[in-house]
Chain A
Amino acid sequence: MSETVRSETPFGLIVPERMGKAVLGIAEQVGGMGVLTGQLVARMLPPRIDRFELIRNMHKMGVRSVGIVSSTALFTGGTIIIQAAPLVVRFGATAIIGWAAGFAMLREVAPLLIALMFSGRVGANNTAELGTMVVTDQLDALRALAIDPISYLILPRVISMIVMLFALNVIGDLVALTGAVIGANALLDVDFALFMDSFLTMLEAWDFVLSMIKSLAFGVMIAITSCYFGLTVTGGAPGVGRAVNSSVVAAAIGIFVMDYFSTFVLK
């Protein structure tokens, strides 16, 4: 016979109790990420980084992501033109399509979409890898060998993610621009010279710098969340799955929150 488990919390307090638990859970996670960040900063003074691990991770996380980021950026650039085309034609604003597409891509669309793609591909994979290492005692094995897992394992991954997302954002911006140029030429009959004229004269260097600042901030967010959720896995293989899910959701929320505040502060 199945046994019914009854909550001892009075009915009226169930919602506040659950909200309180959720708040405490979030506080614990944010605090844990803060502690991890502190540990990473401590290992940077002076830097103790395994160069082989750094290069291996930069290749795995960055070089192998170029294809997926480029294809995302190319189609995003083209999509912006498709969306803008009816309005541009209605108002006869083909002369400023280069500025409009560049402004939207550099300031918002490219860093945001590339970061989300990176989080889904690299961040999720990183959480799964670290989580698997935790549940199979590989992290304990490192410690038993007198090797600090934060210096050896985590720091190279965090640096790789930040640096490679920055690099991918530069590539993504250029590819998205190419997609926009192709789209503008095909749909609006705007040639390359006209497109680049408004792009170069109306956009400022700050627009590009802002894109880079955002990608750095998103890189930090993805790196810390993916490592934190990987390192705190419990419950074997199902726990790894849950951690990957939590990591991707937390990184996405963090990216959007950071995007809002960075846009507000650096507008």
Chain B
Amino acid sequence: MILLRNVSLRLKGAQVLRNINLEIPPGGVFALIGPGASGKSLLFKVITGLLRPDEGDVHVDGDCLTGLGDIELGPIRRKIGMLFQNYALFDHMSVYENIAFPLRRLFNYSEEQIAQIVAERLHRVSLPGFQDRFPPGLSGGQKKRVGIARATAQRAPIILYDEPTAGLDPVNSQKIYDLIRDEQRAQGTTAVVISSDVAGLLTVADRVAMMHRGELLFAGTTAHAQRSGHAAVNQFVHGLTEGPL
């Protein structure tokens, strides 16, 4: 479970997160939605300890992140796999090396086991035969899928996906959502997904939270979000042009 209590954050003098209280229950697909620059990606960085909130506490799987340094955060971060918004693949490594990297560094897998896991992950994201390619030679969609393969390779109980379908066509977007859903069911993980493609995301999400200007406007089930009485939530979920946003 991920728990945020009264989390606030200022960056370069601007209040980017305001008093966030959010509980993400274990298991299931949790959608984090909201207009651009509403603080969703920053919230991911707070959850992984990459950014420290000015106020409030963050708990991941029962461990409180407050006051922990990078070394103490290590065991907590191993419980989290993360797909970054702009892939964050290591350019100097091949696709194989990128996916194998966390397995080699964090676990005691043999090279045969690593090769098996990498091949299975690449097959899962429909990129078999891409292991020797390098990230600069891949398309945006292919990079996303390699990023997903890397984020899920270590079988972490929590996976954070930041805009996994940005720049993809509707067919490939839906394939990615289905993949996230299937992965979550197969591994029993907690998948937290940020996406601007609300319609697609809500087809697989169990619960939804919406942020706007650093504030949490809504948190509840997907069904509740779709018939929310909150004007901004209703407008965003249904893609309406008229409304407060």
Contacts and interface: CB of A to CB of B under 8 A. Distances in A.
Interface in B61-97: 70-71, 73-75, 77-78, 80, 82, 84-92
A193 interface: no
B41 to A, nearest CB: 10
Nearest to B45: A140
B106 interface: yes
A40 to B, nearest CB: 15
A145 B71 contact: no
- Taking residues whose C-beta sits less than 8 angstroms from the other chain, chain A's interface range is 10 to 19
A144 B60 CA distance: 14
Nearest to A60: B92
A224 to B, nearest CB: 21
A136 interface: yes
B50 A146 contact: no
Contacts of B87: 136
Contacts of B92: 56, 129
A138 interface: yes
B45 A146 contact: no
B48 interface: yes
- Taking residues whose C-beta sits less than 8 angstroms from the other chain, chain B's interface range is 20 to 34
A111 B76 CA distance: 47
A136 to B, nearest CB: 6
Instruction: Decide if the interface of chain B is mainly helix, strand, loop or mixed.
Output: mixed
A130 to B, nearest CB: 11
Contacts of B27: none
Contacts of A141: 82, 84, 88-90
B83 to A, nearest CB: 10
B101 interface: yes
Given A143-B50, A144-B77, A137 B84 contact: yes
Centre residue among A133, A136, A144 by max chain B CB count within 10 A:
A144
Centre residue among B71, B75, B88, B89 by max chain A CB count within 10 A:
B88
Contacts of B230: none
A144 B90 contact: no
Contacts of A204: none
B71 A144 contact: no
A146 B74 contact: yes
Contacts of A146: 73-75, 77-78, 106
A149 to B, nearest CB: 9
Interface of B: 45, 48, 50, 70-71, 73-75, 77-78, 80, 82, 84-92, 101-102, 105-106
Q: Please give me the 7 A-B residue pairs with the lowest Cβ-Cβ distance, nearest first.
A: A141-B88, A137-B88, A146-B74, A146-B77, A137-B84, A144-B82, A145-B102
Interface of A: 56, 129, 132-133, 136-138, 140-141, 143-148
Given A137-B85, A138-B88, A138-B91, 19 more contacts: A129-B92, A133-B91, A136-B88, A136-B91, A137-B86, A140-B45, A143-B70, A143-B77, A144-B50, A144-B80, A145-B77, A145-B101, A145-B102, A146-B74, A146-B77, A146-B106, A147-B105, A148-B70, A148-B71
14 contacts: A133-B90, A136-B87, A136-B91, A137-B85, A138-B88, A138-B89, A140-B45, A140-B84, A143-B48, A143-B50, A143-B77, A146-B74, A146-B106, A148-B71
